[in-house]
Amino acid sequence: MKLITVAGPPSSGKTAVITRLAENLDERLGVIKFDCLTTFDKERYEEAGIPVEVGFSGKFCPDHFFVNNVEDGVTWGLDRELDYLITESAGLCNRCSPHIVGITSVCVVDCLSGVHTPRKIGPMLKFADIVVVTKGDIVSQAEREVFAWSVRQANGEAQILFVNGITGQGAFMLAKLVSGACSVTTLNNTRLRFTTPAAACSYCTGEIRIGESFQMGMMRKIDFDSGGLHD
Q: On the CB side of 74, how many CA atoms lie within 13 Å of its CA?
A: 19
Helix (H, G, I), strand (E, B) or coil at 85: strand
125 vs 157, 165, 173, CA distance in Å? Answer: 11, 19, 19
Q: How far is the CB of 165 from other proteins (least distance, A)?
A: 14
Identify any residues that bridge with 131 across adjacent strands, giving them in sequence order: 107, 160
Note whether 85 binds other proteins by CB under 8 A: no
Q: How far is the CB of 198 from other proteins (least distance, A)?
A: 10
Q: How far is the CB of 113 from other proteins (least distance, A)?
A: 9
47 vs 19, 50, 90, 93, 117, CA distance in Å? Answer: 10, 8, 21, 29, 32
Number of residues that bind other proteins (CB under 8 A): 39
Note whether 183 binds other proteins by CB under 8 A: no
Q: Which of residues 110-139 bind other proteins (CB under 8 A)?
A: 111-112, 114-115, 119, 123, 137-139
CA-to-CA distance for 65 and 58, rounded, in angstroms?
A: 9
Which residues form the interface with other proteins (CB under 8 A)? 111-112, 114-115, 119, 123, 137-146, 148-149, 152-154, 156-157, 159-162, 167, 169-170, 172-173, 176-177, 194-195, 228-229, 231
